[in-house]
Amino acid sequence: MITKKEFEKIKESISNFKYHSMEYTEFEDVAKHDIICNDDNLILIYGYNEQDSLYQYNYAFNDHKDFVKALSNCKKDDLLTFVNKEWVEDLRRIGFDIYAIWCSYFAHDLNKYKNDTPIEFVAKNEYKEVSEVTLSCRYQSRGFSGQSEEWIQQWVDNKVVDYTKDCNIIVKKINGIIAGVVCVGVYGHESKKGPILWVRELAVRPEFQKMGIGRELLGQAFAYGLEKGATRSFLAADECNHGAIHLYKSMGYQADENDREINMIHN
């Protein structure tokens, strides 16, 4: 199992590699993972990704052929993130396929959509129910696996991503049941364009979908962002989630075609 000292040395060394998947990786993300390889040509760290409920490889290398060769004995459902499109066909030859293609979306005018409904935030005794809402939407979109109760608590406590502040979860209730949720936070406070509202998760229970709840929650998220000083908003969506993308575009989000993340999974 990797130690914190080993992880810190690896993080220091990844700048020496042409490709790697660990720019946003923290020690807590891989604390229970194993180092499979660590040399001048290739770094491989392998372990269970609790967020996606899959085993995942984190990597660094210069020649993708070394990477592909090292993965020749992968197990079913092993996950790779931040895959370069130039490696896709070689990875397909050893049993990987596209799991999700995430695209970045930005909304540049949070004032355009006025929120006229009161905002209700999650209470501590509702973390489990919020988790259940996200899990009820599991795999409705490629790559969306929902979140655990522990993750929900960590998000509200600002412990998921250290550069994001004012993290919270807005809930929509119908007859006392949490029907939908949106996880929000603010980052980029040092940007000359102003802070950015991050819409991290938006989920509506299947039985409450197509009732305008997602749109209402996004409008409330915009209002929250404005209150915290945000001037624009960011979210990531899988390119095949057409329903969600239609909603996002109708709320002013535009795709950054140059910012895509390909994830692959072993069959």
**Whole-number percent of the chain with pLDDT over 90:** 81
Q: Are 169 and 122 in contact (CB under 8 A)?
A: yes
Q: 90 or 242: which carries more pLDDT confidence? A: 90
112/44 Cα distance (integer angstroms): 46
pLDDT digits (tens, 9 = 90+) for 55-76: 999 999 999 999 999 998 899 9
What integer pLDDT is reported at residue 158 of this predicted model?
Answer: 94
- pTM score, two decimals? 0.80
What average pLDDT does the segment 211-217 reach? 96
pLDDT band per the 50, 70, 90 thresholds, residue 52 = confident
Q: Are 67 and 43 in contact (CB under 8 A)?
A: no
